[in-house]
Amino acid sequence: GEEIRDVLDRGADWIHVDVMDGHFVPNLTIGPMITKAVRNSAPNAFLDVHLMIERPDDVVQQYRDAGADQIAVHAEAVYHLHRSIQAIKDTGAKAGVALNPHTSESVLDYVLDDLDLVLVMSVNPGFGGQSLIEAVFPKIERLRKEIDRRGLSTLIEVDGGVKTHNAWRFVDAGAHV
């Protein structure tokens, strides 16, 4: 809680929570109980929950109940992407879809209009400290062009490999978060 308050005191208004199940990705991390503790430590922050898990539809309501304002699922982890997006929206949360570095943004062609956020992974999900995969920059640029072409307000978020010396590149490519 102290670290979260410190981040917020320094100007952050979003807290990003990475949830990993040890199956979809090799690491195991935060569950709904810890997410609720994060919410309690940051009652006014926007709580952005990134589900790097198999069968995310089964737990979406639990993370919303724990305080998530926005929930992102991986396109690679669900069978029926539109149904998963609707399940998130049905809870009252904003809906996002995360894409692994190798996944084309074209998987979003039929759901982009329903999204509040696209989360572009710039490293393979599961472990911190990985090297940036440069191929994500053209993907971000293509997403930005398509979002603009459709007149959408969908945000582009980047997760992994973002450092103080390269953050401007993600912004220049079209990312917001």
Give which of 117, 55, 107, 114 is closest to 86, Cα–Cα: 114
For residue 130, name the pLDDT band (cuts at 50, 70, 90).
confident
pLDDT tens digits for range 24-66 = 998 888 889 999 999 999 999 999 999 999 999 999 999 999 9
For residue 125, name the pLDDT band (cuts at 50, 70, 90).
confident
- CA–CA dist 133, 82 (Å, integer): 28
pLDDT tens digits for range 81-111 = 999 999 999 999 999 999 999 999 999 999 9
Determine the pLDDT at residue 122.
95
Question: What is the 8-class DSSP label of residue 117?
Answer: E
Burial class (CB in 10 A: 0-12, 13-18, 19+), 30: middle
Question: Which residues have a catalytic role annotated?
Answer: 18, 159
- b/e map of 56-89 (b: 16 or more CB within 10 Å)? bbebbbebbebbbbbbbbbbbbbeebeebbebbb
Q: Is 56 helix (H, G, I), strand (E, B) or coil?
A: helix
Instruction: Give yes or no for residue 127 having a pLDDT over 80.
Output: no
Count of other CB atoms within 10 angstroms of residue 143: 22
Phi and psi torsions of 144, nearest 5°: -60, -45
35 and 47 Cβ atoms separated by less than 8 Å = yes
pLDDT tens digits for range 133-150 = 999 999 999 999 999 999
> Average of pLDDT values for 147-172?
95
Q: Is the pTM of this model over 0.75?
A: yes
Determine the pLDDT at residue 151.
98
